Copies of this chain bind each other. A is one copy, B any other.
Amino acid sequence: MLIHQDRLFPAEPRARKIAKTLYEHVRRLPIISPHGHTQAAWFARNDPFLDPAKLFVQPDHYIFRMLYSQGVSLDDLEIGQPELKDARRVWRIFASHYYLFRGTPTRMWLDFAFQELFGLGERLSERTADRYFDTISERLRTPEFRPRALYERFNLEVLATTDSPLDSLADHKAIRESNWKARILPTFRPDPVVDPEFARFADNIAKLDEKTGEDTSTWAGYLNALRKTRVRFHELGCTATDHGHPTARTANLSTAEAADLFYRVLAGNADAQQQELFRAQMLTEMARMSLEDGLVMQIHPGSSRNHNRKLYERYGRDVGADIPMPTNYVDALRPLLDQFGNERELTIILFTLDESTYSRELAPLAGHYPCLRLGPPWWFHDSPEGMMRFRERVTETAGFYNTVGFNDDARAFLSIPARHDVARRMDCAFLAKLVAERRLEEEEALEVAQDLAYGLVKQAYKL
Protein backbone atom coordinates (compact mmCIF):
# COMPACT_ATOMS: atom_id res chain seq x y z
CA MET A 1 0.00 0.00 0.00
CA LEU A 2 1.25 3.47 -0.85
CA ILE A 3 -0.83 5.24 1.76
CA HIS A 4 -1.83 4.11 5.23
CA GLN A 5 -5.27 4.59 6.68
CA ASP A 6 -3.84 6.32 9.76
CA ARG A 7 -1.54 8.66 7.88
CA LEU A 8 -1.03 12.12 9.39
CA PHE A 9 -2.69 11.21 12.67
CA PRO A 10 -0.65 11.67 15.87
CA ALA A 11 1.58 8.76 16.85
CA GLU A 12 0.37 8.82 20.45
CA PRO A 13 -2.42 6.20 20.67
CA ARG A 14 -5.00 8.19 22.60
CA ALA A 15 -4.72 11.26 20.40
CA ARG A 16 -4.66 9.05 17.31
CA LYS A 17 -7.90 7.39 18.33
CA ILE A 18 -9.57 10.76 18.80
CA ALA A 19 -8.29 11.96 15.44
CA LYS A 20 -9.65 8.86 13.74
CA THR A 21 -13.06 9.32 15.34
CA LEU A 22 -13.21 12.92 14.23
CA TYR A 23 -12.04 12.04 10.75
CA GLU A 24 -14.66 9.33 10.35
CA HIS A 25 -17.29 12.03 10.81
CA VAL A 26 -15.93 14.31 8.10
CA ARG A 27 -14.27 12.08 5.53
CA ARG A 28 -17.41 11.56 3.47
CA LEU A 29 -18.60 15.15 3.48
CA PRO A 30 -18.88 16.67 0.00
CA ILE A 31 -15.90 18.64 -1.23
CA ILE A 32 -16.31 22.36 -1.74
CA SER A 33 -13.44 23.78 -3.75
CA PRO A 34 -13.93 27.55 -3.73
CA HIS A 35 -10.56 28.53 -5.17
CA GLY A 36 -8.35 26.81 -7.69
CA HIS A 37 -6.98 26.73 -11.19
CA THR A 38 -8.71 23.86 -12.94
CA GLN A 39 -10.12 24.55 -16.41
CA ALA A 40 -13.85 24.84 -17.11
CA ALA A 41 -13.08 23.59 -20.61
CA TRP A 42 -12.32 20.12 -19.24
CA PHE A 43 -15.87 19.81 -17.98
CA ALA A 44 -17.48 21.61 -20.92
CA ARG A 45 -15.82 19.25 -23.40
CA ASN A 46 -15.45 16.19 -21.19
CA ASP A 47 -12.58 14.90 -23.31
CA PRO A 48 -10.42 12.20 -21.76
CA PHE A 49 -7.18 13.31 -20.14
CA LEU A 50 -4.09 12.39 -22.12
CA ASP A 51 -1.15 10.41 -20.83
CA PRO A 52 0.29 10.41 -17.28
CA ALA A 53 3.10 12.86 -18.09
CA LYS A 54 0.69 15.40 -19.55
CA LEU A 55 -1.68 14.91 -16.65
CA PHE A 56 0.68 14.80 -13.68
CA VAL A 57 4.05 16.28 -14.59
CA GLN A 58 3.57 19.05 -17.09
CA PRO A 59 1.02 21.25 -15.28
CA ASP A 60 2.38 20.78 -11.77
CA HIS A 61 5.00 23.32 -10.81
CA TYR A 62 5.46 21.58 -7.44
CA ILE A 63 6.84 18.64 -9.40
CA PHE A 64 8.99 20.28 -12.01
CA ARG A 65 10.47 22.91 -9.67
CA MET A 66 11.83 20.11 -7.46
CA LEU A 67 13.18 18.19 -10.44
CA TYR A 68 14.74 21.37 -11.82
CA SER A 69 16.37 22.16 -8.47
CA GLN A 70 18.18 18.86 -8.72
CA GLY A 71 19.52 19.45 -12.19
CA VAL A 72 16.80 17.99 -14.43
CA SER A 73 16.35 20.22 -17.47
CA LEU A 74 12.93 21.64 -18.25
CA ASP A 75 13.49 20.77 -21.89
CA ASP A 76 13.88 17.12 -21.01
CA LEU A 77 10.55 17.39 -19.19
CA GLU A 78 9.08 19.08 -22.30
CA ILE A 79 7.79 21.93 -20.16
CA GLY A 80 6.04 24.51 -22.28
CA GLN A 81 5.40 22.11 -25.15
CA PRO A 82 1.74 21.97 -26.20
CA GLU A 83 2.15 18.31 -27.25
CA LEU A 84 4.59 15.91 -25.63
CA LYS A 85 6.94 14.23 -28.06
CA ASP A 86 7.93 11.44 -25.73
CA ALA A 87 5.56 11.23 -22.81
CA ARG A 88 7.01 7.94 -21.59
CA ARG A 89 10.50 9.43 -21.45
CA VAL A 90 9.25 12.37 -19.41
CA TRP A 91 7.47 9.96 -17.08
CA ARG A 92 10.61 7.86 -16.63
CA ILE A 93 12.66 10.91 -15.71
CA PHE A 94 10.03 11.85 -13.15
CA ALA A 95 9.82 8.29 -11.80
CA SER A 96 13.55 7.93 -11.37
CA HIS A 97 13.61 11.14 -9.29
CA TYR A 98 10.53 10.31 -7.23
CA TYR A 99 12.65 9.82 -4.08
CA LEU A 100 13.26 13.59 -4.09
CA PHE A 101 9.66 14.10 -2.95
CA ARG A 102 10.08 12.19 0.32
CA GLY A 103 8.61 14.25 3.10
CA THR A 104 6.74 16.60 0.74
CA PRO A 105 2.99 17.02 0.26
CA THR A 106 3.42 16.38 -3.46
CA ARG A 107 4.43 12.83 -2.68
CA MET A 108 1.38 12.43 -0.44
CA TRP A 109 -1.01 13.82 -3.06
CA LEU A 110 0.46 11.68 -5.82
CA ASP A 111 0.48 8.46 -3.81
CA PHE A 112 -3.15 9.08 -2.94
CA ALA A 113 -4.10 9.41 -6.60
CA PHE A 114 -1.92 6.48 -7.66
CA GLN A 115 -3.49 4.16 -5.12
CA GLU A 116 -7.05 5.42 -4.83
CA LEU A 117 -7.69 6.20 -8.50
CA PHE A 118 -5.37 3.84 -10.31
CA GLY A 119 -5.04 0.99 -7.84
CA LEU A 120 -1.26 1.09 -7.82
CA GLY A 121 0.36 -0.40 -4.76
CA GLU A 122 4.12 -0.36 -5.27
CA ARG A 123 6.03 2.88 -4.96
CA LEU A 124 6.83 4.82 -8.13
CA SER A 125 10.50 4.44 -9.08
CA GLU A 126 12.69 3.90 -12.07
CA ARG A 127 11.79 0.21 -11.87
CA THR A 128 8.02 0.71 -11.73
CA ALA A 129 7.89 3.66 -14.14
CA ASP A 130 6.58 1.78 -17.13
CA ARG A 131 4.01 -0.17 -15.17
CA TYR A 132 2.68 3.11 -13.82
CA PHE A 133 2.68 4.70 -17.25
CA ASP A 134 0.80 1.84 -18.82
CA THR A 135 -1.73 1.39 -16.03
CA ILE A 136 -2.56 5.08 -15.84
CA SER A 137 -2.70 5.49 -19.62
CA GLU A 138 -5.13 2.61 -19.91
CA ARG A 139 -7.42 3.89 -17.19
CA LEU A 140 -7.47 7.39 -18.61
CA ARG A 141 -9.07 6.04 -21.74
CA THR A 142 -12.06 4.62 -19.80
CA PRO A 143 -15.31 6.56 -19.30
CA GLU A 144 -14.82 6.57 -15.53
CA PHE A 145 -11.82 8.86 -15.98
CA ARG A 146 -13.51 11.55 -18.02
CA PRO A 147 -13.57 14.91 -16.20
CA ARG A 148 -17.28 14.83 -15.41
CA ALA A 149 -17.15 11.28 -14.08
CA LEU A 150 -14.22 12.24 -11.87
CA TYR A 151 -16.04 15.32 -10.62
CA GLU A 152 -18.83 13.08 -9.42
CA ARG A 153 -16.54 10.41 -8.08
CA PHE A 154 -14.65 13.06 -6.10
CA ASN A 155 -17.94 14.02 -4.41
CA LEU A 156 -17.48 17.64 -5.42
CA GLU A 157 -20.36 19.94 -4.48
CA VAL A 158 -18.80 23.13 -5.86
CA LEU A 159 -15.71 23.73 -7.96
CA ALA A 160 -14.59 27.29 -8.64
CA THR A 161 -12.18 28.21 -11.41
CA THR A 162 -10.17 31.43 -11.67
CA ASP A 163 -10.91 33.60 -14.68
CA SER A 164 -9.85 36.77 -16.41
CA PRO A 165 -12.40 39.57 -16.89
CA LEU A 166 -11.63 39.17 -20.58
CA ASP A 167 -12.71 35.56 -20.60
CA SER A 168 -16.00 34.96 -22.40
CA LEU A 169 -16.86 32.26 -19.85
CA ALA A 170 -18.13 30.25 -22.78
CA ASP A 171 -17.09 27.03 -21.11
CA HIS A 172 -19.00 27.93 -17.97
CA LYS A 173 -22.03 28.74 -20.07
CA ALA A 174 -21.70 25.46 -21.92
CA ILE A 175 -21.62 23.54 -18.66
CA ARG A 176 -24.71 25.39 -17.42
CA GLU A 177 -26.53 24.76 -20.65
CA SER A 178 -25.73 21.08 -20.67
CA ASN A 179 -27.89 18.66 -18.75
CA TRP A 180 -25.05 17.95 -16.34
CA LYS A 181 -25.96 18.98 -12.81
CA ALA A 182 -22.65 20.15 -11.43
CA ARG A 183 -21.78 23.43 -9.80
CA ILE A 184 -18.69 24.76 -11.55
CA LEU A 185 -18.35 28.48 -10.95
CA PRO A 186 -16.11 31.21 -12.29
CA THR A 187 -14.08 33.51 -10.03
CA PHE A 188 -13.43 37.10 -11.03
CA ARG A 189 -9.66 37.62 -11.12
CA PRO A 190 -9.06 41.11 -12.50
CA ASP A 191 -5.23 41.15 -12.41
CA PRO A 192 -4.95 41.54 -16.22
CA VAL A 193 -6.91 44.81 -16.06
CA VAL A 194 -5.93 46.20 -12.65
CA ASP A 195 -2.21 45.44 -12.54
CA PRO A 196 -0.24 47.90 -14.72
CA GLU A 197 2.65 45.44 -14.84
CA PHE A 198 0.50 42.71 -16.36
CA ALA A 199 1.40 41.86 -19.95
CA ARG A 200 -0.57 44.03 -22.41
CA PHE A 201 -2.31 45.96 -19.64
CA ALA A 202 -3.54 48.83 -21.85
CA ASP A 203 -4.72 46.41 -24.55
CA ASN A 204 -6.59 44.45 -21.95
CA ILE A 205 -8.40 47.57 -20.81
CA ALA A 206 -9.26 48.41 -24.38
CA LYS A 207 -10.74 44.92 -24.77
CA LEU A 208 -12.80 45.49 -21.66
CA ASP A 209 -14.29 48.46 -23.52
CA GLU A 210 -15.35 46.24 -26.40
CA LYS A 211 -16.85 43.64 -24.11
CA THR A 212 -18.84 46.01 -21.93
CA GLY A 213 -19.63 49.00 -24.11
CA GLU A 214 -18.21 51.29 -21.45
CA ASP A 215 -15.61 53.88 -22.36
CA THR A 216 -12.68 52.42 -20.47
CA SER A 217 -10.46 55.33 -21.40
CA THR A 218 -12.14 57.28 -18.58
CA TRP A 219 -11.84 56.42 -14.88
CA ALA A 220 -15.62 56.28 -14.47
CA GLY A 221 -16.05 54.17 -17.56
CA TYR A 222 -13.29 51.81 -16.49
CA LEU A 223 -14.93 51.29 -13.10
CA ASN A 224 -18.30 50.76 -14.76
CA ALA A 225 -16.79 48.22 -17.10
CA LEU A 226 -15.44 46.33 -14.11
CA ARG A 227 -18.85 46.55 -12.44
CA LYS A 228 -20.59 45.17 -15.52
CA THR A 229 -18.07 42.38 -15.85
CA ARG A 230 -18.61 41.41 -12.23
CA VAL A 231 -22.34 41.22 -12.98
CA ARG A 232 -21.61 38.99 -15.96
CA PHE A 233 -19.58 36.69 -13.70
CA HIS A 234 -22.21 36.83 -10.97
CA GLU A 235 -24.88 35.69 -13.41
CA LEU A 236 -22.88 32.52 -14.03
CA GLY A 237 -22.76 31.74 -10.32
CA CYS A 238 -19.54 33.53 -9.38
CA THR A 239 -19.51 34.45 -5.68
CA ALA A 240 -15.93 35.65 -5.27
CA THR A 241 -13.13 37.74 -6.65
CA ASP A 242 -9.42 37.02 -6.35
CA HIS A 243 -6.47 39.39 -6.32
CA GLY A 244 -2.87 38.28 -6.79
CA HIS A 245 -0.83 41.36 -5.92
CA PRO A 246 2.85 41.56 -5.02
CA THR A 247 1.94 43.16 -1.67
CA ALA A 248 -1.18 43.65 0.44
CA ARG A 249 -0.96 47.40 0.05
CA THR A 250 -4.22 49.32 -0.23
CA ALA A 251 -4.93 53.00 -0.82
CA ASN A 252 -7.87 55.30 -0.51
CA LEU A 253 -7.31 58.19 -2.90
CA SER A 254 -9.82 60.88 -3.73
CA THR A 255 -11.71 60.37 -6.98
CA ALA A 256 -9.62 63.04 -8.67
CA GLU A 257 -6.34 61.54 -7.51
CA ALA A 258 -7.43 58.07 -8.52
CA ALA A 259 -8.53 59.26 -11.95
CA ASP A 260 -5.21 61.04 -12.52
CA LEU A 261 -3.34 57.93 -11.51
CA PHE A 262 -5.46 55.82 -13.85
CA TYR A 263 -4.67 58.06 -16.83
CA ARG A 264 -1.00 57.89 -15.99
CA VAL A 265 -0.85 54.10 -15.74
CA LEU A 266 -3.02 53.71 -18.84
CA ALA A 267 -0.66 55.94 -20.80
CA GLY A 268 2.26 53.84 -19.63
CA ASN A 269 3.82 56.79 -17.80
CA ALA A 270 3.68 55.39 -14.29
CA ASP A 271 6.81 54.41 -12.42
CA ALA A 272 6.99 51.32 -10.19
CA GLN A 273 5.68 53.19 -7.15
CA GLN A 274 2.73 54.59 -9.03
CA GLN A 275 1.93 51.18 -10.47
CA GLU A 276 1.93 49.78 -6.95
CA LEU A 277 -0.26 52.66 -5.78
CA PHE A 278 -2.71 51.90 -8.56
CA ARG A 279 -2.97 48.26 -7.56
CA ALA A 280 -3.43 49.45 -3.96
CA GLN A 281 -6.25 51.77 -4.96
CA MET A 282 -7.92 49.06 -7.01
CA LEU A 283 -8.17 46.78 -3.97
CA THR A 284 -10.21 49.49 -2.28
CA GLU A 285 -12.32 49.96 -5.40
CA MET A 286 -12.93 46.23 -5.52
CA ALA A 287 -14.01 46.30 -1.86
CA ARG A 288 -16.43 49.10 -2.68
CA MET A 289 -17.92 47.04 -5.52
CA SER A 290 -18.08 43.96 -3.28
CA LEU A 291 -20.19 45.92 -0.85
CA GLU A 292 -22.53 46.65 -3.75
CA ASP A 293 -22.70 43.25 -5.41
CA GLY A 294 -21.86 40.91 -2.56
CA LEU A 295 -18.84 39.18 -4.14
CA VAL A 296 -16.39 37.88 -1.54
CA MET A 297 -12.83 39.23 -1.96
CA GLN A 298 -9.76 37.01 -1.81
CA ILE A 299 -6.32 38.63 -1.53
CA HIS A 300 -3.28 36.50 -2.36
CA PRO A 301 -0.25 38.75 -1.82
CA GLY A 302 3.45 38.31 -1.31
CA SER A 303 4.86 36.36 -4.22
CA SER A 304 7.88 37.63 -6.09
CA ARG A 305 6.77 36.35 -9.49
CA ASN A 306 9.14 35.13 -12.20
CA HIS A 307 12.18 35.37 -9.96
CA ASN A 308 14.30 33.34 -12.38
CA ARG A 309 14.88 35.81 -15.19
CA LYS A 310 16.30 33.35 -17.71
CA LEU A 311 13.54 30.83 -17.21
CA TYR A 312 10.93 33.55 -17.50
CA GLU A 313 12.43 34.82 -20.75
CA ARG A 314 12.41 31.31 -22.14
CA TYR A 315 9.26 29.68 -20.72
CA GLY A 316 7.08 32.55 -19.47
CA ARG A 317 5.01 32.70 -16.29
CA ASP A 318 4.24 29.92 -13.83
CA VAL A 319 7.29 27.74 -14.33
CA GLY A 320 8.09 27.34 -10.70
CA ALA A 321 10.17 30.40 -10.09
CA ASP A 322 7.86 32.41 -7.84
CA ILE A 323 9.41 33.06 -4.43
CA PRO A 324 7.58 34.38 -1.35
CA MET A 325 8.53 37.75 0.12
CA PRO A 326 8.13 39.26 3.59
CA THR A 327 4.62 40.70 3.62
CA ASN A 328 3.17 43.43 5.78
CA TYR A 329 -0.55 43.58 6.49
CA VAL A 330 -0.91 45.89 9.47
CA ASP A 331 0.02 49.07 7.61
CA ALA A 332 -0.81 47.86 4.13
CA LEU A 333 -4.48 47.15 4.76
CA ARG A 334 -5.14 50.25 6.82
CA PRO A 335 -6.48 52.55 4.07
CA LEU A 336 -9.00 49.95 2.95
CA LEU A 337 -9.94 49.05 6.52
CA ASP A 338 -10.31 52.72 7.47
CA GLN A 339 -12.97 52.90 4.81
CA PHE A 340 -14.68 49.51 4.94
CA GLY A 341 -13.21 47.56 7.86
CA ASN A 342 -16.33 47.72 9.99
CA GLU A 343 -18.75 46.60 7.27
CA ARG A 344 -20.37 43.35 8.33
CA GLU A 345 -21.68 42.72 4.82
CA LEU A 346 -18.19 42.67 3.34
CA THR A 347 -15.99 39.57 3.41
CA ILE A 348 -12.30 39.79 2.62
CA ILE A 349 -10.32 36.56 2.84
CA LEU A 350 -6.61 37.07 3.43
CA PHE A 351 -3.90 34.64 2.39
CA THR A 352 -0.19 34.77 3.04
CA LEU A 353 3.13 33.24 2.03
CA ASP A 354 4.83 34.78 5.08
CA GLU A 355 4.06 32.58 8.06
CA SER A 356 5.60 35.08 10.49
CA THR A 357 2.44 37.15 9.99
CA TYR A 358 0.05 34.43 11.24
CA SER A 359 0.30 35.23 14.93
CA ARG A 360 1.69 38.74 14.59
CA GLU A 361 -0.71 40.38 12.14
CA LEU A 362 -3.27 38.13 10.52
CA ALA A 363 -4.87 36.52 13.57
CA PRO A 364 -5.11 39.86 15.44
CA LEU A 365 -6.61 41.55 12.36
CA ALA A 366 -9.12 38.78 11.65
CA GLY A 367 -9.87 38.52 15.37
CA HIS A 368 -11.07 42.11 15.32
CA TYR A 369 -12.34 43.42 11.96
CA PRO A 370 -15.79 42.10 11.02
CA CYS A 371 -14.95 42.04 7.30
CA LEU A 372 -11.80 39.95 7.59
CA ARG A 373 -11.38 36.18 7.45
CA LEU A 374 -8.24 34.07 7.08
CA GLY A 375 -7.76 31.79 4.14
CA PRO A 376 -6.09 28.41 4.69
CA PRO A 377 -2.32 27.85 4.35
CA TRP A 378 -1.38 28.68 0.79
CA TRP A 379 0.96 27.20 -1.82
CA PHE A 380 4.28 26.29 -0.15
CA HIS A 381 2.41 26.09 3.17
CA ASP A 382 -0.43 23.88 1.88
CA SER A 383 1.20 20.93 3.62
CA PRO A 384 0.82 18.94 6.85
CA GLU A 385 3.36 20.97 8.80
CA GLY A 386 2.12 24.20 7.25
CA MET A 387 -1.44 23.40 8.27
CA MET A 388 -0.41 22.56 11.82
CA ARG A 389 1.53 25.82 12.11
CA PHE A 390 -1.47 27.74 10.79
CA ARG A 391 -3.86 26.30 13.38
CA GLU A 392 -1.33 26.58 16.20
CA ARG A 393 -0.56 30.21 15.51
CA VAL A 394 -3.96 31.48 14.45
CA THR A 395 -6.54 29.73 16.61
CA GLU A 396 -5.66 31.21 19.99
CA THR A 397 -6.25 34.75 18.74
CA ALA A 398 -8.73 34.42 15.87
CA GLY A 399 -10.49 31.21 16.90
CA PHE A 400 -11.78 28.71 14.34
CA TYR A 401 -14.66 30.83 13.16
CA ASN A 402 -12.60 33.58 11.56
CA THR A 403 -11.11 30.98 9.21
CA VAL A 404 -12.81 29.65 6.09
CA GLY A 405 -12.09 25.96 5.73
CA PHE A 406 -9.86 24.65 2.98
CA ASN A 407 -8.92 25.83 -0.54
CA ASP A 408 -7.11 23.29 -2.67
CA ASP A 409 -5.84 25.95 -5.13
CA ALA A 410 -5.18 23.02 -7.45
CA ARG A 411 -4.03 23.13 -11.05
CA ALA A 412 -3.84 19.33 -11.00
CA PHE A 413 -7.46 18.14 -11.01
CA LEU A 414 -6.59 14.67 -9.80
CA SER A 415 -4.97 16.02 -6.67
CA ILE A 416 -8.16 17.63 -5.36
CA PRO A 417 -9.46 14.71 -3.26
CA ALA A 418 -5.98 14.10 -1.86
CA ARG A 419 -5.55 17.71 -0.86
CA HIS A 420 -8.88 17.91 0.91
CA ASP A 421 -8.10 14.63 2.59
CA VAL A 422 -4.81 16.00 3.92
CA ALA A 423 -6.59 19.14 5.17
CA ARG A 424 -9.31 17.15 6.90
CA ARG A 425 -6.79 14.84 8.51
CA MET A 426 -4.61 17.68 9.74
CA ASP A 427 -7.55 19.61 11.17
CA CYS A 428 -8.64 16.42 12.94
CA ALA A 429 -5.07 15.90 14.16
CA PHE A 430 -4.98 19.44 15.56
CA LEU A 431 -8.38 19.04 17.20
CA ALA A 432 -7.34 15.66 18.58
CA LYS A 433 -4.36 17.30 20.22
CA LEU A 434 -6.68 19.84 21.87
CA VAL A 435 -9.00 17.07 23.05
CA ALA A 436 -6.16 14.83 24.26
CA GLU A 437 -4.71 17.76 26.19
CA ARG A 438 -8.14 18.51 27.64
CA ARG A 439 -8.38 21.88 25.95
CA LEU A 440 -11.59 21.02 24.11
CA GLU A 441 -14.37 18.49 24.59
CA GLU A 442 -14.58 15.75 21.97
CA GLU A 443 -18.21 16.65 21.33
CA GLU A 444 -17.22 20.21 20.49
CA ALA A 445 -14.33 19.01 18.38
CA LEU A 446 -16.75 16.98 16.27
CA GLU A 447 -18.74 20.12 15.56
CA VAL A 448 -15.63 22.13 14.75
CA ALA A 449 -14.27 19.37 12.48
CA GLN A 450 -17.45 19.49 10.41
CA ASP A 451 -17.35 23.26 10.27
CA LEU A 452 -13.73 23.22 9.10
CA ALA A 453 -14.40 20.56 6.47
CA TYR A 454 -17.68 21.88 5.15
CA GLY A 455 -19.67 24.55 7.01
CA LEU A 456 -17.25 27.45 7.12
CA VAL A 457 -16.26 27.39 3.47
CA LYS A 458 -19.87 27.27 2.38
CA GLN A 459 -20.75 30.21 4.55
CA ALA A 460 -17.68 32.35 3.86
CA TYR A 461 -17.92 32.00 0.08
CA LYS A 462 -21.72 32.39 0.15
CA LEU A 463 -22.26 29.01 -1.43
Residues of A at the B interface (CB closer than 8 Å) are 3-4, 6-12, 14-15, 65-66, 68-71, 99-105, 108, 123, 304, 307-311, 320-326, 328, 330-331, 334, 337-338, 341-342, 344, 353-356, 359-361, 363-370, 372, 380-381, 383-386, 392-393, 395-402, 433-434, 436-441, 444, 447-448
Query: A323 near B365 (CB under 8 angstroms)?
Result: yes
Identical copies of this chain, number: 3
Could you say which residues of chain B place their CB within 8 Å of the CB of A308? 337, 341-342, 368-369
Partner of A381 from B10, B105, B320, B359 at Cβ < 8 Å = B359
Interface centre among A326, A338, A356, A439 (most CB of B within 10 A): A439
5 residue pairs bridging A and B, Cβ less than 8 Å apart: A7-B437, A101-B399, A104-B397, A104-B399, A323-B364
Could you say which residues of chain B place their CB within 8 Å of the CB of A70? 370, 401-402
Query: A4 near B354 (CB under 8 angstroms)?
Result: no
Which 3 A-B residue pairs are closest in the complex by CB-CB distance? A11-B436, A4-B438, A7-B438
Partner of A372 from B69, B369, B383, B402 at Cβ < 8 Å = B69
- Asked, given contacts A11-B436, A353-B360, A359-B386, whether A323 binds B103 with beta carbons under 8 Å apart, the answer is no
Q: How far is the CA of A65 from the CA of B399 in the complex (A)?
A: 11
Partner of A103 from B101, B355, B361, B434 at Cβ < 8 Å = B434
Q: How far is the CA of A398 from the CA of B102 in the complex (A)?
A: 10
Query: B6 near A438 (CB under 8 angstroms)?
Result: yes
Query: B437 near A8 (CB under 8 angstroms)?
Result: yes
Query: A439 near B108 (CB under 8 angstroms)?
Result: yes
Could you say which residues of chain B place their CB within 8 Å of the CB of A344? 71
Partner of A368 from B65, B397, B401, B437 at Cβ < 8 Å = B65
Q: How far is the CA of A221 from the CA of B342 in the complex (A)?
A: 45
Query: B383 near A396 (CB under 8 angstroms)?
Result: yes
Residue of B nearest to A322 (CB): B364
Q: How far is the CA of A298 from the CA of B324 in the complex (A)?
A: 22
Residue of B nearest to A358 (CB): B355
Could you say which residues of chain B place their CB within 8 Å of the CB of A325? 330-331, 360-361
Partner of A99 from B102, B330, B444 at Cβ < 8 Å = B444
Interface centre among A4, A12, A323, A337 (most CB of B within 10 A): A323
Query: A103 near B364 (CB under 8 angstroms)?
Result: no
Query: A311 near B342 (CB under 8 angstroms)?
Result: yes
CB A296 to nearest CB in B, in angstroms, measures 15
Could you say which residues of chain B place their CB within 8 Å of the CB of A103? 395-396, 399-400, 434, 439-440, 448
Query: A15 near B8 (CB under 8 angstroms)?
Result: no
Residue of B nearest to A369 (CB): B69
Query: B328 near A326 (CB under 8 angstroms)?
Result: yes
- Asked, given contacts A8-B439, A311-B342, whether A396 binds B384 with beta carbons under 8 Å apart, the answer is yes
Could you say which residues of chain B place their CB within 8 Å of the CB of A330? 304, 307, 323-325
Residue of B nearest to A433 (CB): B11
